[in-house]
A = this chain, B = another copy of it.
Amino acid sequence: MSARPTPKVVAFAGGVGGAKLADGLMQCLRKELSVVVNTADDFEHMGLHISPDIDTVTYTLAGLANPETGWGIKGESWNFLDQVKKLGGPGWFALGDRDLAIHVLRSERLRAGESLTRITGDIARALGISASLLPMSDDPVQTKVKTAEGLLPFQDYFVGRHCEIAVSGFVFEGIEKARVTMQVRNALDSGALQAVIFCPSNPYVSLGPILDLKGMKAQLSETNAPIIAVSPIIGGKAVKGPAARMMQELGVEPSAKSVARIYHGVVDGLVIDEEDKHLADEISALGMAVHVAPTLMRSREDRKALAETCLRFADNLAKRGIK
């Protein structure tokens, strides 16, 4: 591996929303950005190791993502899946023809003993991604959702059941043994670090596993850079995915304020949408800086604008000595 420049900003991301802000940050920072990605949704399907969040971030940063779905590759074809069904194989998980390449290459290299970190970095470089893309861990962690039917693996809940079964909690299997990678630790340890940004991802199942890794919260509390989060909840709704629904099922009001409560004690500031500016005072009262800005990312320009907002907000917090 070639030497990477010291990152100035570390972003934590899950899938679609996280990938969009990561893209905005990369537009601002190029090589000075490291993106730490959730791997607790990773699973094995048809003998292939699938890393949904890494794939979404990879495709988004490479400019390959399907703009309609947010996941997968634009202009995808589905001939593999069609043939799998003809052969009597499983058709419930949408594996596109182009998308398969990343799964097959990754699976082969993992089986040969290479680390997910190395493989992810090689693929990102092959696709011309300037930021460092870092899996949160090279050790297996598997999110399971607690339901009335028992523990369900995340993909069974998310894809197989379309999130249509109420959740009462989450288990990140393997989390107590999973180590934060050296690359992630070094990125957070850097003296040049200017900000840690929690992208607008699901706070429970996307950023939750990253934050629950052993030593992660301690390391975050020791870093000198401000830590800010962007609320994935706008006007009581999640832009994408089951975050708001999960809040409701857990008996928590779906709102930016609930996001603030989840991240309380970890982040120094929260970016909330203009639609939620009436919540600013209540969130401030929790002891957290608040910044109100447009947070919905419809275009690539929106992503960059939100990234600039986050960087300015972090900069202001640093100047005010908040951290």
A83 to B96, CA, bound (A): 11
Q: Is the CB of A80 within 8 A of B101?
A: yes
> Is A77 engaged at the interface, CB distance under 8 Å to the other chain?
yes
Question: Inside 8 A of A83's CB, which chain B residues have their CB?
Answer: 73, 97-102
A28-82 interface with B by 8 A CB criterion: 46-48, 73, 76-77, 79-82
Question: Inside 8 A of A77's CB, which chain B residues have their CB?
Answer: 77, 79, 97
Q: Is the CB of B47 within 8 A of A87?
A: no
What is the number of residues of chain A that contact chain B, defined by CB distance less than 8 Å?
Answer: 32
Question: Inside 8 A of A102's CB, which chain B residues have their CB?
Answer: 83, 87
A122 to B100, CA, bound (A): 23
> Is A137 engaged at the interface, CB distance under 8 Å to the other chain?
no
Contact of A127 among B84, B87, B98, B101 (CB under 8 A): B87
A91-106 interface with B by 8 A CB criterion: 96-102, 104-105
Q: How many copies does the complex hold?
A: 2
A104 to B88, CA, bound (A): 12
A46 to B47, CA, bound (A): 12
Question: Inside 8 A of A127's CB, which chain B residues have their CB?
Answer: 86-87
> Is A107 engaged at the interface, CB distance under 8 Å to the other chain?
yes
> Is A1 engaged at the interface, CB distance under 8 Å to the other chain?
no
> Is A108 engaged at the interface, CB distance under 8 Å to the other chain?
yes
A305 to B48, CA, bound (A): 44
Question: Inside 8 A of A104's CB, which chain B residues have their CB?
Answer: 46-48, 80, 84, 89, 104
Give the nearest-CB partner of A79 in chain B: B97
> Is A297 engaged at the interface, CB distance under 8 Å to the other chain?
no
A77 to B79, CA, bound (A): 7
> Is A126 engaged at the interface, CB distance under 8 Å to the other chain?
yes
Question: Inside 8 A of A80's CB, which chain B residues have their CB?
Answer: 80, 97-98, 100-101, 104
> Is A111 engaged at the interface, CB distance under 8 Å to the other chain?
yes
> Is A123 engaged at the interface, CB distance under 8 Å to the other chain?
yes
Give the nearest-CB partner of A44 in chain B: B108
Give the nearest-CB partner of A107 in chain B: B47
Contact of A87 among B48, B81, B101 (CB under 8 A): B101
Question: Which 10 pairs of residues, A with B, have the shortest CB-CB distance?
Answer: A47-B108, A83-B101, A88-B126, A97-B97, A79-B97, A83-B98, A84-B101, A79-B98, A80-B97, A89-B105
Sample of 6 A–B contacts (CB below 8 Å) = A80-B97, A83-B99, A86-B127, A89-B105, A97-B97, A104-B104
Q: A residues near B, CB below 8 A?
A: 46-48, 73, 76-77, 79-84, 86-89, 96-102, 104-105, 107-108, 111, 122-123, 126-127
A77-B97, A83-B99, A89-B105 known; 4 new pairs, CB 8 Å cut-off, are: A46-B108, A48-B104, A84-B101, A87-B126
